[in-house]
Amino acid sequence: MEEYIEKYLQFVKGKHLTKNTIEAYARDLEKFSNFLQNREEEFQQVDEITIMSYVQNLIKGNIANSSINRNLVTLRNFYKYLMQNQFVKESPIINYELPKIKRNLPEVLTIEEVEILLDMPDTDTYKGLRDRAMLELMYATGIKVTELLNLRIFDINLDMEYMICKGTKEKERIIPLGSVAIKYIEEYLSLRKSMKDSESLLLFLNSRGKRMSRQGFWKIAKAYAKDAGINKDINLYTFRHSFAVHLLQNGADIKSVQELLGHVDIAATEIYYSITKKNKLIEVYKNSHPRA
């Protein structure tokens, strides 16, 4: 099976998917391959019963439905590739129904919490100014962490007040920049010119002058949230979620928010509208009910 997995991974690499997506495919397929080896079952013998057993094995491992779904979608695409290239005659997963996912609404910060968190970095230091510029840019644009860390200096146009962001499959979108984000990016770039990493084209770098990792950024945001006394679960998407909800709360139309976030399907953006509607109902209740 390893031979076919390698062929498939080479195939998806040619589709300009992100590195994280390809690595997720590789992990999912390796997990399925190990499952077959433990059962001493040949790749050619896989049928719907095997798939059902595999799902039960994932469930026993306390794996979330969303992760199980991702594993099954990976297998479905893998077998689709195998069929198209006539490596197998039929797919054992084509008729398997994916488990229903209970979609949890993402947790967002209030505007006040965002303001407190953004004030935490010490902008009298290079690191603090870099962190403030990163956090301000994240909240001002709603970009993903990977998109932030891939930004190059020339992607930012401070005079015209916009940035160019490359999303999935290298698709570019233009995002306006707010005045506060521009202020801190200007100050950061001015100080950065005197630093040893100033020749790098990347906009933000770690303390060693290298590309910052997603984990590195998460630790920075988490530390500032702790210092700010924010007890909410801060993750890599917190600023993106907060950006979308705050725009909708202040009157932005959902199509514009979809375009800013780079969502292909508006259904992904509608999740934020659900949060906005829920928050509005709570506000109306508290302001209207005599016992609230």
List residues with catalytic annotation: 169, 240, 263, 272
Q: What are the residues whose beta carbons fall under 8 Å from the beta carbon of 263, sequence distance 6 or more? A: 269
Edge-to-edge strands, sheet with 172-176: 156-157, 162-166, 172-176
Rounded to whole angstroms, the Cα distance separating 18 from 171 reads 12
Alpha-helical runs (H) found in the chain: 2-13, 19-39, 48-60, 65-84, 111-118, 126-141, 145-150, 179-192, 214-227, 238-249, 254-261, 266-288
Which among 152, 185, 180, 181 is positioned nearest to 166, based on CA atoms?
152
Closest CA to 137 of 102, 100, 162: 162
